[in-house]
């Protein structure tokens, strides 16, 4: 195992505990490939990327400050979104579900974090909506298993 | 805790409401970074007729930067959403309450920033 992969694995364990997101680190991907693989993995789970927010460029352009590369992808499944909006008309406040891709210091390790919609949807204190959040979470969190795999060339 | 602050605007069209929200956000230093037209998306994907409904993703760069320094995965909660929807008696605008949503993050360093954003978003709603 390369050092990079070792780091990726150690950090993966360390970063699992965020209460609002699930994260995993990858040692074998460039930033661009990671973003593309996240898109592909979301697609496979029938989650469409509905918006793309480059936080790095936004901070740089507006404040002239340098941060690590950082992109926020907003993912949504139309059926689930309609169900959520029919249950709670302000559910749009929690949509779409975000996946962030960021470059870590100093090894070029890429971290992908997926929001936990059970947590964000539970804000509405509507049991039906929280259950839908869990449904979305199951789909969403699976992508972490497919981000590296799709890059492996056999 | 309510997770949003809202107001219903009377005697305005949906488009006028969007323009008012955009201007009010700008006044408080927020740009609109993302926009999802829910009605159009649901029509296209599911052939479902939905009321006019847009999700605007607003971001105040200095505050976003501060939040990011306090919590590197905060992007999972960004941008701050403001939703605009047609309701029976007008156009309803609701902005997320970041104090409520940031509670889930369990980071004390964020609470001051969340309060600052909350007061700005509240002003946006009040000024409509």
What is the token pair recorded at B128?
């409509």
The range of the structural domain enclosing residue B98 comes to 4-126
CATH-assigned architecture of domain A3-13+22-146: 2-Layer Sandwich (3.30)
For residues B54 and B126, give the distance between their C-alpha atoms in angstroms, rounded to a whole number. 19
Confidence (pLDDT) at A22: 93
List residues in chain A touching B: CB distance below 8 A. Answer: 18-21, 23, 48, 50-51, 53, 55, 58-59, 62-63, 65, 67, 70, 72, 74, 76, 78-79, 81-82, 85, 89-90, 92-96, 98, 100, 102, 113-115, 119-120, 123-124
CATH of residue B113 = 3.30.310.70
pLDDT given for residue B103 in this prediction = 86
Inter-chain contact B77–A94, Cβ cutoff 8 Å?
no
ipTM value, please give it. Answer: 0.94
| Min distance B15 CA to chain A CA atoms (Å) | 18
- Residues B12-60 have pLDDT tens digits of 999 999 999 999 999 999 999 999 999 999 999 999 999 999 999 999 9
- CA-nearest of A60, A147, A61 to A100 is A147
* φ, ψ at B30 (rounded to 5°): -105, 135
CA-closest candidate to residue B63, choices A22, A111, A59: A59
Number of domains chain B is built from: 1
Tens-level pLDDT at each residue, chain A (154 residues): 455 555 555 544 445 558 899 999 988 889 999 999 999 999 999 999 999 999 999 999 999 999 999 999 999 999 999 999 999 999 999 999 999 999 997 677 899 999 999 999 999 999 999 999 999 999 999 999 999 865 444 4
User: How far are the Cα atoms of A27, A30, A95 from residue A7, in angstroms, in the given order?
Assistant: 7, 15, 33
Bridge partners, residue B84, by sequence: B54, B93
Q: How far apart are CA A141 and CA A45, in angstroms?
A: 10
- Owner of token pair 């340098």: A66
Tell me the residues of B at the A interface, defined by beta carbons under 8 Å apart: 3-4, 6, 31, 33-36, 38, 41-42, 45-46, 48, 50, 53, 55, 57, 59, 61-62, 64-65, 68, 72-73, 75-79, 81, 83, 85, 94, 96, 100-101, 104-106
Closest residue in A to B59 (Cα) is A58
Pairwise CA distance, residues B61 & B87, whole Å = 31
Domain ranges of chain A: 3-13+22-146
A48 to chain B: which residues are within 8 Å by CB? 45
Of B96, B93, B92, nearest to B118 by C-alpha is: B96
Question: DSSP state, B30?
Answer: -
> How many Cα neighbours within 13 Å face the side chain of B25?
25
Q: How far is CA B44 from CA A89, A94, A136, B40, B102, in A?
A: 20, 21, 21, 6, 33
DSSP A45: T
């Amino acid at each position: 195992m390369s050092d990079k992969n070792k780091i990726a694995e150690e950090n993966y364990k360390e970063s699992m505990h965020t209460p609002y997101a699930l994260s995993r680190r990858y040692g074998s991907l460039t930033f661009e490939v990671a973003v593309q693989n996240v898109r592909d993995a979301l697609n496979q789970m029938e989650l469409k990327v509905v918006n793309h927010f480059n936080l790095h460029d936004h901070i740089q352009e507006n404040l002239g400050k340098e941060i690590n590369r950082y992109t926020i992808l907003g993912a949504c499944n139309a059926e689930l979104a309609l169900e959520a909006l029919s249950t709670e008309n302000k559910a749009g406040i929690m949509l779409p579900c975000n996946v962030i891709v960021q470059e870590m210091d100093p090894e070029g390790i890429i971290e992908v974090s997926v929001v936990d919609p059970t947590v964000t949807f539970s804000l509405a204190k509507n049991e039906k909506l929280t259950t839908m959040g869990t449904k979305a979470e199951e789909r969403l969190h699976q992508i972490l298993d497919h981000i590296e795999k799709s890059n492996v060339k056999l | 805790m309510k997770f949003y602050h809202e107001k219903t605007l009377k005697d305005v069209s949906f488009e006028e409401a969007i323009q008012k929200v955009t201007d009010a956000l700008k006044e408080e230093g927020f740009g609109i970074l993302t926009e999802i037209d829910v009605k159009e998306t649901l029509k296209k994907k599911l052939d479902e007729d939905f009321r006019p409904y847009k999700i605007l993703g607003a971001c105040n760069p200095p505050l976003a930067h501060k939040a990011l320094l306090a919590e590197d995965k905060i992007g999972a909660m960004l941008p701050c959403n403001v939703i605009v929807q047609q309701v029976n008696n007008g156009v309803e605008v609701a902005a997320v309450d970041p104090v409520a949503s940031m509670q889930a993050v369990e980071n004390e360093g964020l609470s001051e920033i969340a309060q600052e954003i909350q007061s700005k978003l509240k002003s946006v709603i009040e000024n409509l």
